[in-house]
Amino acid sequence: MEKLKILIKRYRLFIVMLIINSVILMINPSLGAKSFSITWQNTLEMLAVIPPIFILLGLLDVWVKREVMIKYMGDDSGLIGILIAFFLGSAAAGPLYAAFPVAGVLLKKGSRLSNVFIFLGAWSTTKIPLLLFEASAMGTRFMLIRLILDLFGILIIAYATEKLLSQSQKEEIYLAAQEQI
């Protein structure tokens, strides 16, 4: 019985969404069928993206020593840590939800919190394929202006967020990363 409670707690969001989709299916069959179709397509997309991400995470976790990560992305990493965080985020492929497990491993390995925030910001806004598309569709000037604004915005948000967090909140984030990965 205890295992059932744990399963229900772990998958409560999935269960709620299944119930909502089922109710929609009963009320409006065509909309419900479309809802289930979209849900299935999203599930397939996630199954295509997540396994390679977790393989890379496993390799990162095993191959990169904590001391190396602390040296290059830790509290005293300075400009090198910022540049690595921007590069990792900008060169990454996949949707934003794939970035969070990577961020967890970075935290587990001792990366500075602001560098992890920079990584997440870069993943969401400065991807290289997006920049190339913008340059061809909207022009190089637009792309450069947006990129420069994004870079400054990401830095400001990352450092402001790190400064606004108390030491206990930071420790809680690092502890949660240790437990989840």
Q: What residue segments make up the domains of the chain, in order of their start?
A: 1-49, 64-180
> DSSP string spanning 7-71?
HHHHTHHHHHHHHHHHHHHHH-HHHHHHHHHHHHHHHHHHHHHHHHHHHHHHHHHHHS-HHHHHH
110: left (phi over 0), alpha (psi -120 to 50) or beta: left
pLDDT tens for each residue of 114-142:
999 999 999 999 988 888 899 999 999 99
Higher pLDDT, 97 or 166: 166
pLDDT tens for each residue of 6-15:
888 888 888 8
Task: Give yes or no for a contact between 70 and 80, defined as CB atoms under 8 angstroms apart.
Answer: no
Average per-residue pLDDT in the chain?
88
Lookup: tokens for 14: 């999935």
Confidence bin at 181 (pLDDT 50/70/90): low
Task: Give yes or no for a contact between 99 and 89, defined as CB atoms under 8 angstroms apart.
Answer: yes
pLDDT tens for each residue of 71-98:
888 888 889 999 999 998 998 877 888 8
Could you tell me the pTM of the whole model? Answer: 0.76
**pLDDT value at residue 45:** 84
Q: In terms of Cα–Cα distance, which of 172, 83, 176 is closest to 122?
A: 83
Name every residue whose Cβ is closer than 8 Å to that of residue 160 and which is 6 or more positions away in sequence. Answer: none
